Chain A
Amino acid sequence: MLPATGTTEEPGVLDLSSVDYAYGDAMLLSDMNVRMEPGGFYFLTGPSGAGKTTFLKLCYLDLVPTSGDLLVFGKRREAMDRDAIARTRRRIGIIHQDCQFIDHLNVYDNVTLPLQVAGRDPGAERASLTELLRWVGLDHKMTSLPPQLSGGERQRAALARAVITAPDLILADEPTGNVDWEMSERLLSLLIELNQLGKTIVLATHDLPLIRSAKARVRTRVLRLKGGELREAGADL
């Protein structure tokens, strides 16, 4: 197992032990062993097709390991029923490369969707929501529909949606894949701010300059996926 960076007394945010994932005959992920601690900032890197998205899907319980033990917030995947999986996902903020918005809802409704799913009234928290949208620079786009946003605006809206319920873990899958360097830096800054608030960040990317920029500003661990196997990245990063 890859070494932990913090204490091992409390359960990790994510614990993978000998986790394999196969789709049909193809072994996509093999012998994953890693423990991610609360408050950590993790990069998951590797070439396209290395299995980064599959790894994240395992983490947010969208896929079931073929074998091995997967614990999320200390709870075993196999022990969770559908409601428990839904509750666990509410503790995870997810940012997809394609953002996955509901196109007929405006930015405000999309961003507040996690609150509604959790049974909270967005209207009662409008002031803080406006502040959140201002933080990501979208307070003037609240009534816009997702197709009307630029790539960077979509990514920032996705970030706002991912953090609106103050989740313990944020998973980001290539969040800078469709934006320019300036916007990548801005998104990274927002994620670093969240990490400094104690949130665990797992960011899948093959953007090496972004990783280097982050390492210069915050303590990170970089995990590399290659050939379906997970390794600690070398000093070249």
Chain B
Amino acid sequence: MIRQLYSAAAALAGEGASDKVVPGTGPAAWLTVFVAAVMGFLAVFSMALAVSTDRLAERWSADLGRVATVQVTGTPDTLDALTDATMRILEETPGVAFARMLSDEEQAALLEPWLGPDLPFDTLPVPRLIEVVPGNPPYDVEGLGLRLAGELPGVRLDDHGRWRAPLVAAATRIRTLGYVALGLIAAATAALVVLATRSTLATNAPVIEVLRLLGARDAFIARAFVRRLTLRTGLGAVVGASLAASALALVPAPPDQSGLLVDLGFQGWQWIWPIAVPFGAAFIAFWATRQSTLSRLRGSM
């Protein structure tokens, strides 16, 4: 299968005059394809990790500014009055698009994971919760918080920033790590190609000697090696990236898209990245092989 793919790729690229002088197979040939496939696989996963956490960070950032909650705490005698006063302040605050008190059923649903069903709201000192949706431009979070706390003791504005912000920071760092891993994979691929090139050059030293004696320019000799190693790396990366993309497509999506989890993988136009990986690998191989080959040839007579 891989051999057929390679032949097809070679045919598509067109067999150059210098290509035949380098043997099609050798100790480094299939090893290069295999390692390039592994690198391609890892590169796609690193990229998936990076774009997924990027998506997660963006979503959490958006949530951070999207909604806030006002907690109204008081005795059973004062709770209704405090709630009404809070609603009045929210309604007259510029930048508040919408404020709504959660019903007992909604609050029960929020507390059910921790306190279980059938919560006796009548007997428990459960605070009232008011959902606040900002307008455009949004309200002054700090100013509103200070006013509520100052005018209505027991009323507190929670913009969720305390726990959302560290998660966003963590997601941003994971994204950065993904890109760093991608850079390391690219560097490792370049190093691998350089090693494979040196091995191939050493194996084919007699061929190079013959070509030089026949008057071949360095560019002619380099072309043969560059083409072969670029194709091998590109082919390996195609196989690896395809396997990784298939694996990602099979990863089940989390049930709750608005929660902490994010589906690992690409969405929409992001699928261009796994397609770009083989091209990137081939470019790295082209550059590394050419530099390495010309450097070696210039180092000889």
Residues of A at the B interface (CB closer than 8 Å) are: 60, 62-64, 82-83, 86-92, 94, 100-102, 104-105, 109, 113-114, 116-119, 161
Chain B residues 167 to 196 lying within 8 A of chain A, measured CB to CB, are: none
Q: In the complex the two chains form, is B214's CB within 8 Å of A89's CB?
A: yes
17 A-B contacts, Cβ less than 8 Å apart? Answer: A60-B213, A82-B218, A83-B218, A86-B218, A87-B215, A88-B215, A100-B213, A102-B206, A102-B210, A104-B23, A105-B20, A105-B21, A113-B210, A113-B214, A116-B18, A117-B220, A118-B215
Q: How many chain B residues touch A (Cβ–Cβ < 8 Å)?
A: 20
Determine whether the beta carbon of B23 is less than 8 Å from that of A62: no
A101's closest neighbor in chain B, by CB?
B210
Assembled-state Cα–Cα distance A60/B220 (Å)? 19
Instruction: Provide the bound-state CA to CA distance between A53 and B87, in Å.
Output: 103
A102 touches B21 (CB 8 A): yes
Question: In the complex, which of the residues B18, B209, B215, B220 contacts A100, with contact meaning CB atoms closer than 8 Å?
Answer: B209
Rounded to whole angstroms, the CA-CA distance of A60 and B301 in the bound complex is: 12
Max chain B C-beta neighbours (<10 A), residue from A86, A109, A118:
A86
A-B contact count (CB 8 A): 56
Q: Indicate if the CB atoms of B23 and A116 lie closer than 8 Å.
A: no
What chain A residues lie within 8 Å of B301 (beta carbons)? Answer: 62-64
**Cβ of B215 and Cβ of A89 under 8 Å apart?**
yes
A116 CB contacts on chain B under 8 angstroms: 17-18
Give the one of A62, A90, A102 with max B CB within 10 A: A102
Report whether B21 and A113 are in contact in the complex, using a CB–CB cutoff of 8 Å: yes
Which residues of chain B in 1-27 are interfacial with respect to chain A, using CB atoms and an 8 Å cutoff? Answer: 17-18, 20-21, 23
Q: A105-B20, A105-B21, A116-B18 are in contact. Are A100 and B217 (CB under 8 A)?
A: no
Q: Are B207 and A102 in contact (CB under 8 A)?
A: yes
B109 within 8 A of A: no
Assess the B213–A62 pair: CB atoms within 8 A. yes
CB contacts (< 8 Å) of A64 on chain B: these are 301
Give Cα distance in the complex from A99 to B18, angstroms.
20
Contact A83 B23 (CB under 8 A): no
Interfacial chain A residues near B21, Cβ < 8 Å = 102, 105, 113
Give the A-binding residues of B (Cβ under 8 A): 17-18, 20-21, 23, 206-207, 209-218, 220, 298, 301
Main secondary structure of the interface of B (DSSP, over half): helix
Question: Given that A62-B301, A105-B21, A109-B20 are known contacts, is A117 also in contact with B207, CB under 8 Å in the complex?
Answer: no
Chain A, residue nearest B204 (CB)? A102
Identity of the chain B residue whose Cβ is nearest the Cβ of A60 in the assembled complex? B213
The reply to whether A117 and B211 contact each other, CB–CB distance below 8 Å, is: yes
Query: B216 to chain A: which residues have CB within 8 Å?
Result: 86, 117
Query: Closest 10 interchain pairs by CB?
Result: A90-B215, A89-B215, A116-B17, A117-B216, A86-B217, A86-B215, A114-B214, A117-B214, A100-B210, A104-B23
Nearest B residue to A64 via CB reads B301
Min distance, Cβ A97 to any Cβ of chain B, angstroms: 13
Extra pairs beyond A105-B20, A161-B214 (11, CB < 8 Å): A62-B213, A82-B217, A82-B298, A83-B218, A86-B215, A90-B214, A101-B210, A102-B206, A104-B23, A116-B18, A119-B17
Please indicate the chain A residues that have their CB under 8 angstroms from the CB of B206 in the complex.
100, 102
Which residues on the A side are within 8 Å of B215 (C-beta)? 86-92, 114, 117-118
**Chain A: which residue is nearest B210 at the CB level?**
A100
In whole Å, how far is B21's beta carbon from the nearest beta carbon of chain A?
Answer: 6
Give the complex CA separation of A104 and B21 in angstroms. 8
In the assembled complex, the Cα of A92 lies from the Cα of B214 at a distance in Å of 8
B207 neighbours in A (Cβ, 8 Å): 102
Least CB distance from B278 to A in Å reads 28
Q: Give the docked Cα–Cα distance between A196 and B298 (Å).
A: 38
Closest A residue, CB atoms, query B17? A116
Closest to A62 in B: B301
List B contacts of A101 (CB < 8 A): 210
Residue among A62, A82, A117 facing the most chain B CB atoms (10 A cut-off): A117
Contacts A102-B21, A109-B20; is A83 near B217 (CB within 8 Å)? Answer: yes
User: How far, in Å, is B240 (CB) from chain A's closest CB?
Assistant: 29
What CA separation (Å) do A226 and B218 show in the bound complex? 36
What is the CA–CA distance of A117 and B208 in the complex, to the nearest angstrom?
Answer: 12
